[in-house]
Amino acid sequence: MKIMLHLGAHCTDEGKLAKTLARNRKDFLDRGVSVPPPGNYHALLREAIHALDQGPPAEDAGDILIDAILEDDHAEQMILSNENFFGVPHMSIGDGQFYPLAEQRLADLRQLFPQAEIHLFLAIRDPGSFIPAVHAASTGMSLDRVLNGTDPGTLRWSDLVTRIRAIAPDMPLTLWCNEDSPLIYGEIIRAMAGLPEGQFEAVMAFNVLHLIPDRAAAIRAMADRVAPGGVLVTKTGVLGETWKSRLLRPVIGAMRLIGKAPYVGFFRIRDLEAEMEAAGLEIVEAETMGGLAGVRFLVARKR
């Protein structure tokens, strides 16, 4: 059994993911993916975890729990969502970190489902807005109580990720910024349901290719998202094309040394177009725009 567990965090999605999954429950079940109602598992898992305080679970406890959660569903994968898995909102901060109970809860989860393939999903939010939000969700509690003596300036989501990877290296973790959710919502749902990534009639990338060190890999990744017959539309600087633009190389190099410039690739039009061709794209329209740093506009069709 595959278990896809959405952990929140608190105050990140306001239940939208769970509602979207529930609305598409029948379609997912036709694909062998169950989206059980939260009432099937929230209290059940909480009670099972508390029972671990009395001793290890029975050998078949995981199978019994899965049968109870699925009820009459026949599925090879289930999607569970519980933002309180690591604790209720006022327990989200303590000991100088986010979700101090994370390690214990994940260890409990592995005890309950020793044979399951468990994938974790977690949205994170800017601490500057996360802290007031969980304070508001912790009805009747002061901010000091919510912070539990923690200096907000020390809080890092990366610390939580490091702790999760240490305690559960076998559980893949999908992480995203809540602020980006409207832009990647479909991708999150597909990842939870284990659906293949979608393809598009057109993919556009403007003013970015010259900033990517492995440009060829980026072009291949974008080409993979273009449907057959669709197009990849790009515009990028070609700073290796003329001697004038190549004069910028030492200038940008010096700026990078003092942290004032990002990576910038210097390549020629023929290099760019060869990488497009190698990615299975046929260039159908091209134009070079002037200026010290020439810019190449391309429309490439997926074969």
Structural domain spans, the chain: 2-193, 200-302
CA separation for the pair 42, 29 (Å, rounded): 20
**Mean pLDDT across 78-101:** 96
Equal CATH topology for 2-193 and 200-302: yes
At 187 the three-state DSSP class reads helix
Question: Using a CB cutoff of 8 Å and minimum separation of 24, what contacts does 296-299 make?
Answer: 296/234, 296/235, 296/236, 296/237, 296/238, 296/241, 296/269, 296/272, 297/234, 297/235, 298/232, 298/233, 298/234, 298/235, 298/272, 298/273, 299/231, 299/232, 299/233
Fold of 2-193: Rossmann fold (3.40.50)
C-alpha span between 240 and 293 (Å, rounded): 9
Per residue in 257-302, pLDDT tens?
998 888 999 999 999 999 999 999 999 999 998 766 689 999 999 9
Percent of the chain with pLDDT over 70: 99
Task: Indicate the pLDDT class of residue 254, thresholds 50, 70 and 90.
Answer: very high
Fold of 200-302: Rossmann fold (3.40.50)
Mean pLDDT value of segment 217-226: 92
Over the chain, what is the mean pLDDT? 92
198 pLDDT tier (thresholds 50, 70, 90): confident
Question: Within a 10 A sphere around the Cβ of 55, how many other Cβ atoms?
Answer: 7
pTM above 0.75, yes or no: no
